[in-house]
Chain A
Amino acid sequence: MNPNEPAASPVPPVNAEEEFTAFMRAYQDTVFATAVRLTANRAQAEDIAQEVFLRAHARFAQLRASPTAGGWLKTVATNLALNHLTRYRNRWRFFSELRREETGEGPGPEVEFAAPDEPRAPVEAAERRAQVEQALAALPDHQRVPLVLFHYEDLPYDEIAARLGVSLAKVKTDLFRGRAALAAALRGAGSPHDSFSR
């Protein structure tokens, strides 16, 4: 079963509005999660999720019985979030290039990253999840967006490049830097870490 597809509602809805409300409640977490991971902003993600469901309402006759409704909603949410971020894309590029020139970052620095498999107490695990969420949200858009598209949406490099309108090399570089920055942020937050050299 597709994890994006919700379980069937136990009580059949009475009218179209109730049916649409049930449809929304079934998919709202999936849509919102996609938007908030890409934008790292709950208010913007809520606006995007609202727009997704307004579009879904316009074609609810087709979606209500479609087995791929979850995929359609995720795709629309991804596209709307990317459109939203596209307005700032030139700024990402500018600062990305500027920072590289200023710091002279090389492609293969040694990276230390938190060890994932250590057993943790529940409080420590919750704290660590919060640290990861904060570190991910704090990444610049040009690093966070490829990370989310690659690790959550399972898009290949070339499709990420096409969606973002950037080169394949830039996607790979931003992914590597995003992972390294995430690892560095968690190391700075006190997580136990391993060492990795590229």
Chain B
Amino acid sequence: MTPRPAPPRLPPEPDPLAAWTHATLRALPSPTAPATLAGRVLAELARREARPWWRREVAGWPRSARLIFVLTAGAGAILSAAAFHGGTERLAAVLARLTDALAPLAALGPAVLRAVAELPAAWLQGLGFAFCTSLAAVLALVLTLTRLLAPRA
């Protein structure tokens, strides 16, 4: 006996309530924007343009400020990386390079290097962490105070 062929699959019956809702909502006219919208946007753009540079996003800062920011952040990152991953010797080497770069402090270099070399690695890591945390806290404090105290543009 030949098996009976399966009946063709029909598409699912549409939900009348869903179809009614769709027709009802789509029949509504599209809301129109208030006439003041474009003016508001242009006024806000003008207000943002008039802000001092330190209240803008970093991309809008002057080139010199961005350079100083990048150099400071880079130095902080290098110090942190050296403190956490390099151990005593690498941190001493980084400090030596920094000391060479800063002429007034050059005389203190050997003494600092000797003192650093004698410190245990855990202490150096702790100091590095404390330094970075303090730096971040001071930066956050300065930024917050600047935003709170500076007159709004």
Contact = CB atoms under 8 A, between A and B. Distances in A.
Given A33-B30, A49-B33, A50-B40, A114 B24 contact: yes
Interface string A42-55: 10001001100110
A37 B31 contact: yes
Contact of B22 (A36, A129, A151): A151
Interface in B2-48: 16-18, 20-34, 36-38, 40-42, 44-45, 48
A24 B40 CA distance: 11
B128 to A, nearest CB: 37
Interface of B: 16-18, 20-34, 36-38, 40-42, 44-45, 48
A94 interface: no
B25 A136 contact: yes
Given A24-B41, A32-B33, A32-B34, 9 more contacts: A28-B37, A28-B38, A31-B33, A50-B44, A54-B41, A116-B24, A116-B27, A151-B25, A196-B17
Secondary structure dominating the interface of B: helix
Nearest to A129: B28
Instruction: Say which size band chain A's interface belongs to.
Output: 35 or more
A116 B20 contact: yes
Contacts of B42: 17, 21
Contact of B17 (A36, A46, A54, A179): A179
Contacts of A111: 17
B21 A179 contact: yes
Contacts of B48: 54
Nearest to B41: A53
B29 A183 contact: no
A46 B18 CA distance: 30
Contacts of B30: 29-30, 33
Contact of A46 (B22, B29, B37): B37
B17 A133 contact: no
Contact of A24 (B22, B31, B32, B38): B38
B17 A183 contact: yes
